Chains A and B, each alone.
Chain A
């Protein structure tokens, strides 16, 4: 695994705008960064990332099966009691899931270590599945990259196949928070792929969803029978329409049982069930103990690195503030991200259905990866 400097494609910003990638620059700082790329060997991809991703996915599903059978665990994950039965039902009726992303600390050697699972509302999907893919094709065409280079990125193929095979109700609605450009970009990409799979895909902002007689309805008052929501389950369970999660005849993507895997509490539960697994880090629920050097503290519910605090083995505290300060916490052994040149890099590994589907790389100047962390493309070359 190497980081290689590379000349950006001339005019790539205009191309980005033309395909709806409106958040390639974030607060004046580059978000999409093609001044360099990461290079992997095929063996690193297949043995160290692809296979562990599929193994960890199955392990996480096994933990879900434990959690739905235990009131104590549902309690520990702070899932409101009123929804326990609905969570169980969604699992036992095998409500299908679409996608997720797990984040690894990996430097090219040794086992990749799982930092967390983003299994409810993962973003950076368009950047991975489309923009990174086009970047490679363009750079191959320009001769900037050796002709036999490849990329671990079957995301769009696998999403298209999933939409074709899931037998979703139609029309199928996609929703996100109205004024989040980034979230809308992710949802637009999913809708685009769904349309290509022949689905009647329609958009509705999460704030515009209607409720009539317990049924979720669209803007014209028609029942919504299928809904993809880029909106966290733990938010929905606290809001005015929460009871519709039980009463509405709506098939959800992601299904409600994903609220167990997207919860950081899955990390201590994985460690309890599979102690000393090479891809796992020691983790426990926080019960008032002080954060020690070499450990990280994460809220049960948080996103984009928010509200995470860590102490390096040398005793230096790194802390990220944020809006997720109202849930419990877990502690996880610190596996510092590898440093290439002067940036720390994190590997996101995608899962579609139950298959590994590619990777994305994020870089930051800090040990905590955030939504503003730069996205860099990668290649496979032997």
Chain B
């Protein structure tokens, strides 16, 4: 016989066998360094290239209306974020609207009737190239790819020091570098998802399996 075996060398299971007791998720996630600032100017004052500060700020600002927590009235919002710290939340255009709307600018200005806190700072996910640190080689695009998205930060009424993400995860109490676990600061859409849009055909047909 010229050929080797025609069956798998090993066939083991790790998840389907409860006795294996392996931890599969979560633990051992390494924190990564990010930077947290009130404004792009403050970011630049920390020896970061102004253009990179502006870019990270712009990314965070674009994300702000999509992820900021939403309240049905201004008072509820101000209870959490303080007087004068809330603004009207725009309609988040859905995909069909984007495709058919002739004036997308007008669409994004339209108020949804909801309120959201104002953006009070931003997190730069990329490691910024520190202009002030001599001898540091420019990083390549791939090295720059961060597991953390640049995003808006907020401050609650009773704790004006702490920068928090849209989902209320505290990340820093002062401007500058901070360390975060990527999974804890993953931006999440504020829009409530619709559910149950797949599976109706299976429910209509009696079968033990929808494979074959």
Contact = CB atoms under 8 A, between A and B. Distances in A.
B212 A19 contact: no
B16 interface: yes
> Do most interface residues of chain B lie in helix, strand or loop, or is the interface mixed?
loop
A273 to B, nearest CB: 24
B201 interface: yes
Contacts, number: 185
A313 B93 CA distance: 62
Name the interface size band of chain A: 35 or more
A220 to B, nearest CB: 6
B95 A214 contact: yes
A183 B193 contact: no
B211 A303 contact: yes
A164 B189 CA distance: 30
A134 B12 CA distance: 9
Contacts of A123: 209, 211-212
A182 B96 CA distance: 37
A180 interface: yes
A150 B13 CA distance: 21
Contact of A211 (B193, B201, B204, B207): B193
B196 interface: yes
B143 interface: no
Nearest to B199: A207
Interface string B2-45: 01011111111111110100001100000000000000000000
Contacts of A243: 95-96
Contacts of A133: 7-8, 11
B16 A188 contact: yes
Contact of B94 (A136, A150, A210, A213): A213
A182 B16 contact: no
A275 interface: no
Contacts of A180: 202, 207-210
B196 A121 contact: no
Given A123-B209, A183-B209, A304-B209, A211 B17 contact: no
A212 B14 contact: no
Given A129-B11, A157-B8, A235-B201, A19 B211 contact: no
Given A188-B15, A189-B16, A235-B201, A358 B7 contact: yes
B207 A306 contact: yes
A214 B93 CA distance: 10
A241 interface: yes
A67 B192 CA distance: 39
B197 interface: yes
B186 interface: yes
B206 interface: yes
A178 B11 CA distance: 26
Contacts of B55: none
18 contacts: A18-B19, A150-B7, A151-B6, A154-B8, A178-B199, A180-B209, A189-B16, A191-B15, A192-B15, A195-B24, A196-B12, A211-B193, A214-B96, A215-B189, A222-B188, A247-B95, A322-B207, A380-B6
Interface of A: 18-20, 26, 42, 45-46, 118, 121-123, 129-130, 133-134, 136, 150-157, 176-178, 180-183, 186, 188-189, 191-192, 195-196, 200, 202, 205-215, 217, 220-223, 230-232, 235-236, 238-241, 243-244, 247, 303-304, 306, 322-324, 358, 371, 380, 382
Given A133-B7, A221-B193, 4 more contacts: A42-B6, A223-B189, A241-B194, A304-B212
Interface of B: 1, 3, 5-17, 19, 24-25, 92-96, 186, 188-189, 191-202, 204-212
Counting from the closest, the 5 A-B pairs by CB-CB distance are A241-B197, A210-B193, A123-B211, A214-B95, A323-B205
